[in-house]
Structures are given as structure tokens and as C-alpha cells.
Amino acid sequence: QKEVEQNSGPLSVPEGAIASLNCTYSDRGSQSFFWYRQYSGKSPELIMSIYSNGDKEDGRFTAQLNKASQYVSLLIRDSQPSDSATYLCAVPNPFSGGYNKLIFGAGTRLAVHP
């Protein structure tokens, strides 16, 4: 089992719809969770962090965390063509030496069509 798993997509949604991106992780001890957005030809940029069970909203973005089921999701409301990008989930996993190593999923490609 991979440490962080995402559906590679592409996920295609019409403009104005809700896009739902999912991520599962293997380490039950993980305490923080991050979503990055990567436009084609650009570097990943951090868009959401979530640390507690439940929902965290930031504008059109909502991150949802369920530690018992070991999944974290990202909802994008009122999707726009400009949201078309690859979305990466990242979770710190314990690494030998007593510190955490941030593990990225392979990313889900989102395409929002007009």
C-alpha cells in the first residue's frame, strides 16, 4: 500500500459544479495534511492545510479530514476553468531519526470545462 494515494484522474467537471478530490493515507499517527495545486509548467503551491477532524473552509475551497477512516478530501465549489490543474495531497510520515518526512501523493488532474 502506498503511503499517500490519490486517483490520478482526470476528473472532469462542468464550470460551476463542485469538484471533489480524495486522498487516503496509511500512517494513523499523521497529524497534519496539506493540499497543493500545480498548474502545468509551474511549481506546486500550498492552498490548504488541515490539522483537525472535520471541515476547514477557505473561500471556494473546503478541506475535510476523517482520521478514523484515514482520508482527507478537497472540495472546490463553483469550479472555474482556472481551477484546472493537478492537485497534490501531502502527509508527514514518521522517518527514522525521529523527524517527519512529507510524502506526496501522485496527484489528481482536474479539468473544468465551460
Question: DSSP state, 79?
Answer: -
Mode of pairing for the β-strands spanning 85-95 and 4-6: unpaired
Kindly report whether the peptide bond that precedes residue 81 is cis, defined as omega within 30 degrees of 0. no
In whole angstroms, the minimum distance from the beta carbon of 57 to other proteins comes to 18
The 33-62 contact track toward other proteins, x by CB under 8 A, reads -x-------xxxxx--x-x-----------
Q: Are 87 and 74 in contact (CB under 8 A)?
A: yes
Q: How far is the CB of 45 from other proteins (least distance, A)?
A: 7
Which residues would be at the binding site for other proteins (CB under 8 A)?
31-32, 34, 42-46, 49, 51, 88, 90, 92, 95, 97, 99-102, 104, 106-107
